[in-house]
Structure 1
Amino acid sequence: MRKVRPKNLDLTTVKFPITAIASIAHRISGIIVFVALAIFLTLLNSSLSSETDFNRVMGYVDNFFIGFVLWAALTGLAYHAVFGIRHMIQDMGYWEELESASFSAKIGFIITAILSILAGVLVW
């Protein structure tokens, strides 16, 4: 006999723990890094073609939208790197309990925020 269980399909009412948010955001940052790699390689290829193309690419960086995209890509890369290291430490058997995993996720968010600010200083 099948049990009738209540179903909550409204994901806006679900309270995710910080470890779940960190894990989901790590996957999203991986996608951002993958897309940013294509952008960075295209800009690198263009800048290495000739001196005029290099100056044109440098002119792109002065555009606010392009600067914002570069900042977002660098922030995504920083997040992915910080939380990738966190995941590797967890794979070695540390920070596996909920308390220590939550604490390490909070520290990871703080480190990423600092690196994001530094990336903003670098871009602008």
Structure 2
Amino acid sequence: MKKQRPVNLNLMTIRQPAAAISSILHRISGLIMLISVGLLVWALATSLQSAEGFAMVHELFTGFIAKFILWGILTALGYHLVAGIRHMIMDMGYFEELVSGRITAQISFVLGIVLSVLAGVWLW
């Protein structure tokens, strides 16, 4: 049996709801944190080896590009924390309806932006 329904293969034309975007960003921020763990562990190990290692890591992390990367890592951490709390609350059975899910997703976006700005102020 051949189905005669239209197929939309262009994913850019589909408008995702806020809850879906929140979930996707939660996964992306988790991936960013997973990748950044290697850099941060290396920096910690090098800085603890000797005074020269500490000076090298300090000099490396005081540049603009390094601060921008650290800001990105902190932004991912902040958003992942907020969205993770949202997901845990939803796992307990609260805010599972369509409207409340959209509202909590929008709240997580706003809190993520606030935490991102605070991280930027703290770094610079």
Pick the TM interval, shorter chain: over 0.9
Secondary structure of 2:3 counterpart: coil
Q: Does 1:18 align with 2:31?
A: no
1:21-36 alignment, distance < 5 Å: 21-36=21-36
Segments ≥4 residues shifted beyond 3 Å: none
Secondary structure of 2:49 counterpart: coil
Percent of aligned positions with the same letter in both sequences?
Answer: 48
Q: Does 1:73 align with 2:73?
A: yes
The alpha carbon displacement at 1:116 in A equals: 0.4
Whole-Å separation in 2 of the counterparts to 1:3 and 1:61: 58
Whole-Å separation in 1 of the counterparts to 2:111 and 2:25: 15
Number of aligned positions between the proteins = 124
The alpha carbon displacement at 1:60 in A equals: 1.0
Matched with 2:59 is 59
Whole-Å separation in 2 of the counterparts to 1:81 and 1:16: 22
State the TM-score, normalizing by the size of structure 2: 0.96
State the TM-score, normalizing by the size of structure 1: 0.96
The alpha carbon displacement at 1:2 in A equals: 3.1
Whole-Å separation in 2 of the counterparts to 1:112 and 1:42: 27
Residues 18-62 of structure 1: per-residue CA shift (max 9 Å, x gap): 111111111111100101111111110110011111111111111
Unaligned runs of 5+ residues in structure 2 are: none
Whole-Å separation in 1 of the counterparts to 2:30 and 2:67: 20
Q: Does 1:101 align with 2:101?
A: yes
Whole-Å separation in 2 of the counterparts to 1:119 and 1:58: 18
Amino acid at match of 1:85: I
Secondary structure of 1:48 counterpart: helix
Alignment root-mean-square deviation, CA: 0.8
